[in-house]
């Protein structure tokens, strides 16, 4: 990959303003004057953050891309450590509108209406640990992500996610992806407790199931067949998904290491 240009070359208007935060305030024409918007001293031309009137929200972060004149925007809540909204745009005015809406506590859908390039991820805006709602949130996110994929194998991944969601036993588990393999857990983030096999599309129209990531796995012609086998391999009586407390996970790791 070629060496990127200096930020001042790619973003001369930002350099003239002195920082990305200052440039955003100028573009907003007063609409961001009361917003706590800042750029760091070590990257004033490429980064900016602003908080929210809602204390449970993380700061919205804006990052300038190094090889093209575009900005990435994202924000979430600490409980999930995952974005509620994200997007990429070359329109600084949209970035400013997204920041204003985030600061004001607008919903993800309202933020998207104000700045169409910044889209809801599907995650729910959760304040307290609620395993059932966290499961729902992650399924919403995975289905939204699958629906928006723009790759040659997007249709196959979408079919896999939808087939898994249609199965009540899998829908009751906490889903996540690792290198685009669909996996399941009996605990939410931050400390997952993985159960059952992993599923993924091959990119050639088929699907594979692996009990272990090191296994070559089995091939299936359709997503439904792969998902049906995954359900068959689930342990009985898994019980409801629990909150994946990181402290509990660390304790379990210590115990497992001691037993080994």
> Dihedral of CA 13/16/22/27: which sign?
negative
User: pLDDT for 212-244, tens place per residue?
Assistant: 877 888 999 999 999 999 999 999 989 999 999
Provide CB contacts within 8 A for 225, sequence distance 6+: 207
> Which DSSP string corresponds to 14-36?
HHHHSSHHHHHHHHHTTTTTTS-
User: Helices 92-103 and 20-28 meet at what angle, rounded to 10?
Assistant: 90
pLDDT computed for residue 248 by the predictor = 52
Cα(137)–Cα(175) distance, rounded to whole angstroms?
Answer: 10
User: pLDDT for 114-141, tens place per residue?
Assistant: 999 999 999 999 999 999 999 999 999 9
Cα(81)–Cα(169) distance, rounded to whole angstroms?
Answer: 26
User: Is residue 99 a contact partner of residue 87, using CB atoms and an 8 Å limit?
Assistant: no
pLDDT > 90? residue 251: no
Cα(40)–Cα(45) distance, rounded to whole angstroms?
Answer: 9
pLDDT > 60? residue 259: no
Provide CB contacts within 8 A for 219, sequence distance 6+: 202, 206, 207, 208
Mean pLDDT of all residues in 162-174: 98
pLDDT > 70? residue 55: yes
The closest of 44, 45, 32, 47 to 103, measured between CA atoms, is: 32
Q: Report the DSSP beta bridge partners of residue 195.
A: 184
* Plot region of 155 (φ>0 → left; ψ -120 to 50 → alpha; else → beta): alpha
Quick one: DSSP state of residue 45? T
Mean pLDDT of all residues in 2-25: 96
Q: How confident is the model at residue 170 (pLDDT cuts 50, 70, 90)?
A: very high
User: Is residue 138 a contact partner of residue 174, using CB atoms and an 8 Å limit?
Assistant: yes
User: Is residue 186 a contact partner of residue 175, using CB atoms and an 8 Å limit?
Assistant: no
Please indicate, yes or no, whether the overall pTM of this predicted structure exceeds 0.85. Answer: yes
Provide CB contacts within 8 A for 65, sequence distance 6+: 71, 72, 88
The closest of 77, 10, 75 to 48, measured between CA atoms, is: 75
pLDDT > 50? residue 76: yes
Provide CB contacts within 8 A for 175, sequence distance 6+: 135, 138, 139, 142, 164, 182, 183, 184, 185
pLDDT computed for residue 256 by the predictor = 30
């Amino acid at each position: 990959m070629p060496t990127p240009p200096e930020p001042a070359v790619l973003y001369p208007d930002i350099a003239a303003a002195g920082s990305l935060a200052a440039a955003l305030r100028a573009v907003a024409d007063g609409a961001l004057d009361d917003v706590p918007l800042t750029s760091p001293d070590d990257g004033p031309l490429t980064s900016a953050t602003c908080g929210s009137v809602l204390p449970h929200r993380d700061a919205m972060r804006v990052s300038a891309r190094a090889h093209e004149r575009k900005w990435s925007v994202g924000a979430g809540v600490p409980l999930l450590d995952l974005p509620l909204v994200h997007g990429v745009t070359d329109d600084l005015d949209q970035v400013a509108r997204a920041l204003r809406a985030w600061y004001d506590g607008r919903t993800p859908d309202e933020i998207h209406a104000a700045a169409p390039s910044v889209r809801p991820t599907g995650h729910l805006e959760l304040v307290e640990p609620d395993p059932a709602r966290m499961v729902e949130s992650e399924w919403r996110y995975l289905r939204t992500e699958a629906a928006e994929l723009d790759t040659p194998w997007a249709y196959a991944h979408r079919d896999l996610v939808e087939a898994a969601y249609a199965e009540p036993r899998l829908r009751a588990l906490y889903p996540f992806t690792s290198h685009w393999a669909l996996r399941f857990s009996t605990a939410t983030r931050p400390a997952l407790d993985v159960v059952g096999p992993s599923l993924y599309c091959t990119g050639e129209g088929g699907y594979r199931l692996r009990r272990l990531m090191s296994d070559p796995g089995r091939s299936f012609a359709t997503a439904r067949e792969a998902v049906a086998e995954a359900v068959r391999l689930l342990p009985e009586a898994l019980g409801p998904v629990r909150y994946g407390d990181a402290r509990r996970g660390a304790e379990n790791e210590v115990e497992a290491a001691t037993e080994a």
